[in-house]
Amino acid sequence: MKDHAQLSETFNEDEPRVNWHDETLWFVRQKRDKAAHGIPEWEQLRETASQIKNNVLSNLSEYLVQFEEQAKQNGITVHWAADAAEHNKIVYGILQQNGVQQMVKSKSMLTEECHLNEYLKEQGIDVTDTDLGERIVQLAEEPPSHIVLPCIHWKKEEIGVLFHKHLGTPEGNADPQLLTHAARLNLREFFLTRRVALTGVNFAIAETGEFVVCTNEGNADMGAHLADVHIACMGMEKIIPERKHLGVFLRLLARSATGQPVTTYSSHFKKPARNQEIHIVIVDNGRSKQLGRADFRNSLKCIRCAACFNTCPVYRRSGGHSYHTAIAGPIGSILAPNLDMKQYADLPFASTLCGSCSNVCPVKIDIHEQLYKWRQVLVQEGYAPAAKTAAMKGMGFTLSNPGAFNVAGKAGRWVVKNVPFLVNNRFNAWYKQRDMPEAPKESFTEWYKKNKAE
Amino acid sequence: MRVALFIPCYVNQFYPQVAIATLQLLEKLGVTVQYPVNQTCCGQPMANSGFEHLAQGCNTLFIKNFSGFDYIVCPSGSCTLHIKDHLHDEHQEGKAQEIRTRVYELTEFLTDVLHVTKLDAKFPYRVGMHQSCHGQRGLHLSQMTELVEKPFSKPLQLLQMVEGVELVELDRKDECCGFGGTFCVAEEAVSVKMGKDRVADHIKQGAEYITAADMSCLMHLEGILKRQKSSVQVKHIAEILNGEGV
Ligand code: SF4
């Protein structure tokens, strides 16, 4: 399987497209900056959100039990799933109980993480994604490349072609309004005929047993209100203790995500309407394990705003699919190795550790520090290539022995061959598109010994 | 005041003029500087690659070279940050800790310890300032655009004391250049693209020189500029502050 470096090399073969992708996402980052700078107490808000989430993580089991009790009292059915497979089975079970072969779905990265669509397809269930971006990638038979803007890698002309093929829009027409209208008309039929709707969850409130879904299109509400059965799937870290905490997160979420003051819809679901059912599926899928890793547990504070994606200079220039995991970007790179170190050993290295991600994160996750720590863990666990390990051992020896380091009577003999950050034999990678500085006549140490040392 | 000069390995071997400028600048400002000649490297290339555990010999040597000074000054934000965050030695943790608190990047040493308010230097060119990430986001040499906080910049504060410097305003004030240590070869395509984009921003604003407090970023940007046969050059901030015209 190809790793991040190889996949993003392919992505970079089309430079104008990389420029377009970078600029599109940089624009989102700028909107975020503008929105954040409009709130003088922004940093305090981030700190508050971070502390609320720290409290949640320290008392997660109690809050989950409280949430379950409250939700049950409200007439909601609560299910627990230890992993992705169990989650998928639970959802399928609910569909079977209702004798349903089709459902609508919106805004759930968790179901992407669990590969629900593929699983249900195998069971003969027909799933229609109703969020416009998700619908586009579904028609294109691709996973989302971004957790908030799933089809950000698609240009509108390409969407025009896709819609012409699947929805019969006029050939060559890429007018966003026309395309959106076509999607809406097409989706209407699904909304009206599907008896089960699945949504994600942004916040689950332990105090009241209600949950909140944030969208801009209102499609989650449309699906949930028209269907007989609403299934809401949530990672177990989505809890917040009390309703009053919601304000902190709603102020941060949309500003961080898209620069809007708040999402168009922040829909609260508390109890099923008459003749309707609500099911909540609470999913672990590696989260308890991550909670047990002292260095990485606070990655579970994430509220999936994607600000770290938009600011990441590497993400903007490699595209979401280069991360070969449902949650791409900097946060994905610290979540994925928890699930499978071998498969995702490349991701913590797909970063310059510039630290911009940690600065935009509304819940103050120390993302770049965790990337550094994952590198240490992955190497210690034996996921580094043997050649690299050998090179590093050699480097370790030379750098701890000034004699070996300075053996060259002339400047640069060791470093020119072994510049520490070039590891070894990777000179070609430097030279491909860059020149190397010429070695000077003498090193500074030599100059100093000649001119300064007594 | 006993001050030691800590020179990154690649600066020592590729850019001795940067080390010389640092030394001369400090001496001009009245500081007596010692250079422990047995120094090699801070160990960051290993640590950032996940091999922190192999850097122990390197750490022990660093402690041997730099113990007992009041200040350790380094013309690189990245190497300074590495020492500050990661220098440990289970056999002499006290000494390691002392060094961690006494190591300073050059520009912060000038502004925060020496409280420099004027410099005898001239550099009549249009200059673009590249904010190297480790210095900026790690050591807080400058305010970061992501945060809703008061702006400041220690390197810019110093550059403004240099006669004739005309600073250009960048579209993206503090985006990473893509060097990233071993990232520059392990993720060659993205690294180079990031570097090209940074260079393009400086060129667009009419910069004649790109400066930074980290030579590693500049080495990467210089590699790209040279390959493009550009007339724009790089210069470490120490060289400009030391008043070397060109
Ligand atoms: S890690 Fe932080 S910035 Fe990234 S998606 Fe999660 S909450 Fe948003």
The interface predicted TM-score (ipTM) is: 0.95
Closest Cβ–Cβ partner in B10, B145, B224 for A415: B10
Indicate if the pLDDT at residue A232 is higher than 50: yes
Q: Per residue in A259-296, pLDDT tens?
A: 999 999 999 999 999 999 999 999 999 999 999 999 99
A352 in contact with chain B, both atoms CB, cutoff 8 A: yes
Question: Rounded to an integer, what distance in angstroms lies between the CA atom of residue A15 and that of residue B193?
Answer: 9
Q: Per residue in A1-36, pLDDT tens?
A: 899 999 999 999 999 999 999 999 999 999 999 999
Question: Rounded to an integer, what distance in angstroms lies between the CA atom of residue A9 and that of residue A424?
Answer: 20
B46 in contact with chain A, both atoms CB, cutoff 8 A: yes
Indicate if the pLDDT at residue A415 is higher than 70: no
* pLDDT band at residue A408 under the 50/70/90 scheme: very low
Q: Per residue in A417-437, pLDDT tens?
A: 556 566 545 557 888 888 888
3-state helix/strand/coil string of A216-279: CCCHHHHHHHHCCEEEEEEEHHHEECCHHHHHHHHHHHHHHHCCCCCCCEEEEECCCCCCCEEE
Q: Min CA distance, A206 vs chain B (Å)?
A: 31
Q: Indicate the top mutation candidate among A255, A303, A371 to test ligand 1's pocket, ranked by most ligand atoms within 8 A of CB.
A: A303
The β-bridge relationship of strands A203-205 and A211-215 is antiparallel
Q: Which domains does chain B have, with CATH numbers?
A: 3-112 (no CATH), 126-241 (3.40.50)
- Residue (of A297, A228, A232, A220) closest to A263 by Cα position: A220
Average pLDDT, rounded, for chain B: 94
Across the range A385-407, mean pLDDT stands at 78
Indicate if the pLDDT at residue A231 is higher than 50: yes
Closest Cβ–Cβ partner in B19, B133, B190 for A444: B19
Chain B residues within 8 A of A435 when measuring between CB atoms: 222-223, 226-227
A275 in contact with chain B, both atoms CB, cutoff 8 A: no
> Residue for token digits 């090699």?
B40
A350 in contact with chain B, both atoms CB, cutoff 8 A: yes
Q: What is the per-residue pLDDT for A453?
A: 67
* Ligand 1 near A25 CB (within 6 A): no
Q: How far is the CA of A310 from the centre of ligand 1 (A)?
A: 10
Indicate if the pLDDT at residue B126 is higher than 90: yes
Paired with A240 in beta bridges are A205
Q: How far is the CA of A364 from the centre of ligand 1 (A)?
A: 8
Q: Min CA distance, A395 vs chain B (Å)?
A: 8
pTM: 0.95
Q: Which domains does chain A have, with CATH numbers?
A: 1-33+296-384 (1.10.1060), 39-285 (3.40.50.10420), 398-451 (no CATH)
Q: Min CA distance, A425 vs chain B (Å)?
A: 10
Chain B residues within 8 A of A314 when measuring between CB atoms: 178, 187, 190, 194
Could you tell me where the DSSP H helices lie in A104-210? 109-113, 116-122, 132-139, 156-167, 176-193
The β-bridge relationship of strands B209-212 and B166-167 is unpaired
Across the range A189-215, mean pLDDT stands at 94
CB proximity list for A331: less than 8 A, separation 6 or greater: A299, A302, A308, A309, A357, A365, A367
Q: What is the per-residue pLDDT for A422?
A: 61
- DSSP character string of A177-189: HHHHHHHHHHHHH
Indicate if the pLDDT at residue A71 is higher than 70: yes
- DSSP character string of B134-167: IIIIIT-SB--TTS-S---BHHHHHHTTSBT-EE
Q: Per residue in A82-98, pLDDT tens?
A: 999 999 999 999 999 99
Question: Rounded to an integer, what distance in angstroms lies between the CA atom of residue A354 and that of residue A326?
Answer: 23
Phi, then psi, of A80 in degrees rounded to 5: -115, 130
CB-count burial class (<10 Å; 0-12, 13-18, 19+) for A369: middle
Inter-chain residue contact A405 with B17, CB threshold 8 Å = no
Question: Rounded to an integer, what distance in angstroms lies between the CA atom of residue A311 and that of residue A313?
Answer: 6
* pLDDT band at residue A409 under the 50/70/90 scheme: very low
Size of interface A-B (CB pairs under 8 A): 250
Closest Cβ–Cβ partner in B43, B149, B222 for A399: B43
B37 in contact with chain A, both atoms CB, cutoff 8 A: yes
Q: What is the per-residue pLDDT for A411?
A: 45
* Residue whose CA is at the smallest distance from ligand 1 atom 6: A302
* CB crowding A72-97: b at 16 or more within 10 Å, else e: eeeebebbebeebebbbebbbebbee
Closest Cβ–Cβ partner in A392, A401, A415 for B9: A415
